[in-house]
A = this chain, B = another copy of it.
Amino acid sequence: MTDNRRFILSLSCPDGVGIVAAVSKLVADNRGWIIEAQHHADQEARRFFMRQEILAESLPFEIDEFRQRFATIAEQFQMDWAISDSAQPKRVVILVSKSGHCLYDLLSRWKSGELVVDIPAVISNHEDFRSLVEWHDIPYYHVPVPREQKDLAYEKIAHLFDTLQGDVMVLARYMQILSRQICDRYPGQIINIHHSFLPSFVGAKPYHQAYQRGVKLIGATCHYVTEALDAGPIIDQDVLRIDHTDATADLVRYGKDIEKTVLARGLRYHVEDRVLLHRNKTIVFR
Contacts and interface: CB of A to CB of B under 8 A. Distances in A.
Contact of A256 (B22, B114, B216): B114
A17 B37 CA distance: 13
Main secondary structure of the interface of A (DSSP, over half): mixed
What is the total number of copies of this protein in its complex?
4
Interface stretch (A40-48, A118-126, A144-152, A180-188): A40-48
Interface stretch (A61-69, A84-92, A155-163, A278-286): A278-286
A266 B241 CA distance: 15
A35 interface: yes
A28 B77 CA distance: 14
A181 to B, nearest CB: 25
Contacts of A264: 257
A104 interface: yes
Contacts of A31: 17
B234 A213 contact: yes
Given A20-B28, A34-B20, A280 B214 contact: yes
A109 to B, nearest CB: 8
A32 interface: yes
B244 A217 contact: no
B112 A108 contact: no
A204 interface: no
A261 interface: yes
A219 B282 CA distance: 19
A20 to B, nearest CB: 4
Given A216-B284, A217-B219, 6 more contacts: A18-B28, A40-B244, A104-B107, A104-B108, A199-B213, A214-B281
30 contacts: A17-B28, A17-B58, A18-B28, A20-B24, A20-B34, A21-B25, A24-B24, A35-B43, A38-B38, A49-B244, A104-B105, A104-B107, A104-B108, A105-B105, A108-B108, A114-B256, A132-B135, A197-B197, A198-B215, A199-B215, A213-B280, A214-B233, A217-B238, A217-B239, A239-B239, A241-B241, A244-B281, A244-B282, A244-B284, A257-B261
